[in-house]
Amino acid sequence: MTLASASAPRASDDIPHRLPVILDTDIGDDIDDTWALAMLLRCPQL
């Protein structure tokens, strides 16, 4: 039982460490700012 408990992943190991970020952009007519926002929203670490 102890061996199974020691080798089982903890719940905290399943959750990636999240890093807060600040997106500073002039979102307007250019597509590059929109792609940067989309990338940030899809990244599980951020």
Q: What is the pLDDT of residue 10?
A: 59
Does any domain span residue 26? yes
34 part of a folded domain: yes
Residue 36, in any domain of the structure:
yes
Residue 1 has pLDDT above 60, yes or no: no
3 within domain boundaries: no
pLDDT reported for residue 25: 86
DSSP assignment string, 1-46: -HHHHHHSPPHHHHSPPP---------SS-HHHHHHHHHHHH-TT-
In a domain, 10, yes or no: no
Domain annotation covers residue 24: yes
What pTM does this model have? Answer: 0.52
> What pLDDT digit, counting tens, does each position of 9-39 carry?
555 566 668 888 898 888 778 899 989 899 9
pLDDT surpasses 60 at 5: no
